[in-house]
Structure 1
Amino acid sequence: MANILILGAGRVGSSVAEQLVHERYSVTLVDSNAAALKPLQDRLDLRTVVGHPASPSVLEAAGARDADLLLAVTPSDELNLVASKVAQQLFNVPTRLARIRNQDLLAQDSLFGENGFAIDHIITPAQIVTDYLYRLVETPEALQVLDFGGGLAQMVVVRVEADARMAGKPLSTLDTLLPNVDRRVVGIYRRNRHIRPDGNTLSEVGDEVFVLAATKNIRAVIRAFHGEDRRARRITIAGGGNVGFRLASALCGDYQVKLIETNRERAVWLSEQLPKALVLNGDATDETLLDNEQAERTDLFLALTSDDEDNIMSGLLAKQMGTRKVIAIINRSRYVGLLQGSRIDVALSPAQATIGSLLAFVRQGDIVAAHSLRRGSAEALEIVAHGNRNTSRVVGRRVEELRLPEGIYFAAVVRGEQLVVLHGETVIESEDHVIVFCDNKRRIREVEQLFAVKLGFF
């Protein structure tokens, strides 16, 4: 998929454009605001077009006739809908993705099919980020939790703690600690440098360990690296916007949830919609408010407003006052690396979280899932293997036969309802869902080529 047309130069559009340019895709970015396009044009090798994103003449000028994929992520749902239909009907763009946030629209599936606005896949960033945060709440020891095989398997990122059983020990020790748990450590990042692990690799305090296992076994694996962490019960959410409201709705049945919202009218509405949560009208950066609400007894503080500075300040303040764990949304992606692992335990870029749901459509081959890792520098893929030994580079071959490029690691396969952790003698079968870890996004094209099927297969 060579030519990608992106409508909207906001946070999602610009972040996706930057990532795809780095992967050497041909990207054209359209926005009605020339000022939003200029900095991107100055520092990235892409084409920009100023104009109304749904205008046929603007889409024509942007090369819609030659586009392989349209990504409509402007702030307007209506604009994204119309642009998708125009791209399909006038320019026959093969694949069309659109961001839709309005719940009333999302409830009407018939609007998005070929007889409606012709959208192949709907993106709802607020829901993507909410789901991401929910998994972190459910797995408080993890820095990131990714699902594969329809939830059968998970890859988690966990920081090694000093009191963990694996601290200072070689990875082969896992065979003794977890004798009946099949798992695969696919990568270790130590002081921001990737280490390709083997059985002799020592697990050092502070390492970020990427490990894959069956979902039913993932907590046992996490405990080996992190130690026991009590389940979060008391949760405070700062920010009652789309993400804050969705997350509070998902959590308040099982957790004690407090939601802090600065806007009084919004706070009243939230209190009506969330009868099981305690909604407070106030400023989360107010030390007196946090003190009155016993921040020191809070298990988890989530700073989810639209303002980075407020999220940083309220998160730091809550941590200083004794909150056990802090998660903050940071819209400026470059801040995330500076804050992650400091007094803010998890810093999350919504754009990076959203990108993963888009990458599966950009990648060549039968991609089921694509997850962006390490602030976009690495990626984990779930790819369906097709063909046979004659038509495929991977099917019918033992893992030890595969000449994998440096930085590409086959971790496991989902075969039917079974997770098979790969070893050297394991043979990859046709229709296996192969879970691949790539520590350098520049090698993704090589992964795609590995799974390409020769024409003889058809």
Structure 2
Amino acid sequence: MHIIIAGAGEVGFHLAKLLAHEQHDIVLIDTNKDRLQYVANQLDIATIHGNSTSFKILLEAYIQDTDLLICVTPAEETNLTTAMIGKKLGAKKTIARISNLEFLFDKEVLDLSKMGVDSLISPESLAAREIKRLLRETALTDTFEFDRGLLSLIGINVDRGDALENLSLRETAKLNPERDFVIAAILRNDKTIVPNGDTQILANDHVYFIAEPKGVDRVFEFKSRKGGKLKNLMILGGSRTGINAAKKLSKKYRIKLVEKDRDKCFKLADELEEILVIHGNANDVELLKQEGIEDIDVFIAVTGNSETNIISCLLAKKCGVKKTIAMVENVDYFHLSQQIGVDTLINKKLIAANFISRYVRKGNILSIAGIHGLDAEVLEFEISDDSTLVDIQIRYISFPKDTIIGGVIRGNRGYSISGDFKFQIKDRVIVLAKTSSIKEISKIFS
């Protein structure tokens, strides 16, 4: 596919990095020369310096031959304009990043598809949706769903006393009699381990599973410390992410939202009628105590400052909060999440890039997504009509060393599979692979 990405920020860069694995013809456009040089040094893609709303620049990028135009600059107006112009000049499909959620909530009022914008993407809305999924259990640190939950990738921290501690993967079979989950990866001391049967799970490991719906529930039972149901939430920051999360969660949870801007508090109080809006700074311990921090189950920090979010979560944890979620801008923080004590770190730009990558279809790769902190990707392949893998037990297929077949979606059901499983035509196969093995595994499923 010929793909043009307008915007070389974190969303554009991460997206280009994901798609580069699939050997697409990618052109990245941006007005920042230094940023383009950085990208060019990291990735083998074409770059063009200029404004993506320029006819000349788009034609230079061969817009007339473009299969997908992805507009993810920080400016909503630039993204919408680029998509409209690009569609007029011949782009087959366009995607625009937006910040105004009215475009999502009131689609019927303004049908942007008639103007050339095929799809809209909001990092804030996706981050709020990610937060909603993470609230399923206190133990859950990561989540990624395939086909609306037919299979899920989830992550948990293994604490001392947990059922998994000191077991090898082979020994965990007794905890999984229904074979409804697969242990796909382990993060230990910032190192990614794609495990085999002899790999032992240790305390403080971050373990990733690919599981069927019942398997997800089974994984949570391995935790020695049961968190119980989550009822009371505190959100720090009246950002777009904070507002969107509050709206999505208000029907199920009791929410308090803390915002330091007094004028903004009054506006939020009018907009969020079912939510208690508090004026103050969450770094104020006395304020937290006055607002009943000891009764809060989840603390979610989504201000525009990464350090404020992390420190506030640590403070909340010290006050006894069961689960903390911090939004960060710097992706380097993800490698520190286990050490610094925050349960889950999220980055709305990476979430958006992973989501957009699902729009790309080339060969048998249906989707590709990164996992925060892991030197690995999760890929979804489809078994084609002429595949040589059909009706062969997977134990007899030579997969690369650093890959694991996590599961298969067949029709309307997800399966966690073992060595005697046989692929069928149209099966969608979930694979976790270290970055170095992606090219080789892609060839096997091609």
Indicate whether the TM-score tops 0.5.
Answer: yes
Q: What is the identity percentage for the equivalent residue pairs of Structure 1 and Structure 2?
A: 28
Q: Structure 1 pair 288/37, CA: closer, same or farther in 2 (3 Å)?
A: farther
What amino acid is aligned across from residue 430 of structure 1 in structure 2? Answer: I
Residues 187 and 14 of structure 1: CA distance in aligned 2, closer, same or farther (over 3 Å): closer
Q: Residue 333 of structure 1 corresponds to which residue in structure 2? A: 331
Q: Is the 8 A contact 2:71 2:95 kept in 1?
A: yes
2:52 corresponds to: 53
Q: Say whether the 8 Å CA contact 1:355–1:372 is kept in structure 2.
A: no
What does the per-residue CA deviation read over 1:134-162, in whole Å, with 9 as the maximum and x for residues that have no partner?
11111220110111232222121111111
1:246-292 superposed Cα distances (whole Å, 9 cap, x missing partner): 11112222222110112223222222232222111222222332232
SS at match of 1:246: helix
Match of 1:383 among 363, 368, 381: 381
| Letter paired with 1:278 | L
Contact residue 363 and residue 448 of structure 1 kept, 8 A? no
Residue aligning to 2:420? 425
Q: Aligned residues, how many? A: 444
Shift of 1:244: 0.7
> Deviation per CA, 1:27-79, whole angstroms, max 9, x where unpaired?
43322344654554566555443322111112123443454432101233332
Equivalent residues of 2:185, 2:192 under 8 A apart: yes
Whether 1:435 and 2:436 are equivalent positions in the alignment is no
Query: 1:224: which partner in 2?
Result: 222
Is residue 416 of structure 1 aligned with residue 411 of structure 2? Answer: yes
Per-residue CA distance 1:74-97 (angstroms, 9 max, x = gap):
23333222212322332x334432
Alignment of 1:87 with 2:82, yes or no, is no
The amino acid of 1:237's aligned partner reads: I
Cα deviations by residue, 1:327-374 (Å, 9 ceiling, x for unpaired): 111101112212344222212222222221122234623444433113
TM (norm. structure 2) is: 0.90
How many Å apart are 1:181 and its aligned residue?
Answer: 5.0
Task: Give distance in 2, aligned partners of 1:232 and 1:450.
Answer: 44
The answer to whether the aligner puts 1:32 opposite 2:31 as a matched pair is yes
Unaligned ranges ≥5, structure 2: none
Alignment of 1:155-304 (within 5 A): 155-224=153-222, 227-304=225-302
Cα gap change, 1:42/1:254 in structure 2, threshold over 3 Å: closer, same or farther? same
2:356 aligns with: 358
Corresponding residue number in structure 2 for 1:72: 71
Question: What secondary structure, in the 3-state scheme, does the structure 1 residue paired with 2:358 have?
Answer: helix
Which of 383, 401, 420 aligns to 2:396? It is 401
Tell me how large the CA RMSD over aligned residues is.
2.6
Q: Note closer, same or farther for the CA distance 1:332–1:376 as it changes in structure 2 (3 Å cut).
A: same
Secondary structure of the structure 1 residue equivalent to 2:424 = coil
Contact 1:365-1:451 at 8 Å conserved across structures:
no
Indicate how the Cα distance of structure 1 residues 415 and 279 shifts in structure 2: closer, same or farther if over 3 A, else same. Answer: same
TM-score for both structures, normalised by structure 1: 0.88
Partner SS state of residue 423, structure 2: coil
> Which residue matches 1:455?
none
CA displacement 1:212-267 (0-9 Å, x = unmatched) = 22113312222225642222222111011111111111222222211011222322
Name the CA shift for 1:415/1:228 in 2 (closer, same or farther; >3 Å): same
Letter in 1 for 2:269: S
Higher RCO, Cα 8 Å, sep 6+:
2
Change (3 A) 1:340 1:9: farther
Which residue identity lines up with residue 14 of structure 1 in the other structure?
F
